[in-house]
Homo-oligomer: A and B are copies of this chain.
Amino acid sequence: MMAIWFSPLQQNPQQQMSVTPALACPIPLERYPHVLMAHGGGGWLMRQLIEEMFLATFGPELDWQHDAASLTLAGKRLAFTTDSYIVTPLFFPGGDIGSLAVHGTVNDLAMSGARPRYLSLSFILEEGLPMETLWRVVRSIQQAAEQAQVRIVTGDTKVVDRGKGDGIFINTAGIGTLAHQEFIGPRSVQPGDAILLSGDVGRHGIAILSARAGLTFETTIESDSAPVAPAVLDLMNGVCVHCLRDLTRGGLASALNEIAHSANLHLQLNASAIPIGNAVEGACELLGLDPLYVANEGRFIAFVPDADAAQALACLRQYNQAAQVIGHVLESSSPNRFRHGQVTLKSTLGATRVLDLLSGEQLPRIC
């Protein structure tokens, strides 16, 4: 028989036991002692966390947030990516957390030029979630996977106590096959490249916001959540694609800023060429949001040589009439250690302004 002692409950048991050797936290703790919503918002606070903590620890070749990692296994090139989905509310016009969890991950695979093949699916459920709600989400996942032609092959279910989650969180990881040999990503972007946008922007964010706040617009604004792989694979068939990126958290402006930063180039856009629906434009005006920073879930940008731009546009318009050439790539003007590359927007009146990276998302928990 052994003895047992009940010691007073420790408020923070993690403070008591050290498992890893001390190494200073790379994020300045006096300035950011805690994780903020903006650390997940797609802006520069998230970039700081990714670059200074995650890339510094796991290696600079790590893919984090954007694109998919490219692996070579026995001579075969694969793409591998992951995303967790925490959108609130769970259901919104044009989609739900289930369809989003499929579209988001297959689109990340497509952005590396891969054909999406397999998904994993992991649920973190909150105790007390209506079983009927789970069932509706499961059905939606099944339909979205069928539409995107991916198979869900492995899964996991965890349940957390009431008040320690928020209904349903979903993680999907995806594997795709890469048929091409080119590297598709920011470092392939060249000065002179045309920048194409696959459709109108801002619908996903406004759809979420309206569902969350109980807003009703004259026209129901539906999320653009959809798989984009068919358009991408079709585009790559005839055109040399240098870089692709889907527009999610932080919208068009953040995606362009990430690419300008990674490629150390200057991206110049024409405001008049950027397609924004009337309903989204009106809603953004009323709500004080900039549609260029509003989240999307079925839109992407493609960088192609200017000579291929017309053919690329014709291809994208088969999938969405609103597709446009929205700008071009220039040499970076004055790189310094604080800023690599920048994005500028030429207004309809001819004035040019810098389109900067925000600290976080205008609206949290969008995907």
Contact = CB atoms under 8 A, between A and B. Distances in A.
Contacts of A135: 25-27, 53
A63 B155 contact: yes
A309 to B, nearest CB: 30
Interface stretch (A10-18, A192-200, A234-242): A10-18
B2 A35 contact: no
B161 A164 contact: no
Contact of A282 (B1, B34, B93, B126): B1
A43 to B, nearest CB: 12
Nearest to A282: B2
Contacts of A129: 34-35
Interface residues of A, number: 130
Contacts of A339: none
A272 to B, nearest CB: 20
B4 A124 contact: no
A336 interface: no
A40 B214 contact: no
A23 interface: yes
Interface string A74-98: 1010101111111001111101100
A82 to B, nearest CB: 4
A335 to B, nearest CB: 27
B62 A118 contact: no
Contacts of A133: 14
Interface in A255-285: 278-279, 282-283, 285
A41 B159 CA distance: 8
Given A6-B215, A20-B143, A171-B122, A13 B136 contact: no
Interface in A138-197: 138-140, 142-143, 145, 151-161, 163-166, 169, 171, 173, 175, 177
B99 A157 contact: no
Given A1-B282, A90-B14, A171 B216 contact: no
Contacts of A288: none
B154 A365 contact: no
A33 interface: yes
Contacts of A120: 69, 80-82, 173
A159 B84 contact: no
B50 A157 contact: yes
B83 A215 contact: no
A358 interface: no
A177 B73 contact: yes
7 tightest A-B CB contacts, nearest first: A40-B159, A173-B173, A2-B282, A82-B120, A69-B153, A171-B171, A14-B91
Interface of A: 1-10, 13-14, 16-21, 23, 25-27, 29, 32-41, 46, 49-50, 53-54, 57-59, 61-65, 68-69, 71, 73-74, 76, 78, 80-86, 89-93, 95-96, 99, 117-118, 120-136, 138-140, 142-143, 145, 151-161, 163-166, 169, 171, 173, 175, 177, 211-219, 278-279, 282-283, 285-286, 364-365
Given A46-B157, A81-B120, 9 more contacts: A19-B99, A34-B131, A65-B156, A69-B118, A74-B76, A82-B121, A84-B123, A160-B365, A163-B163
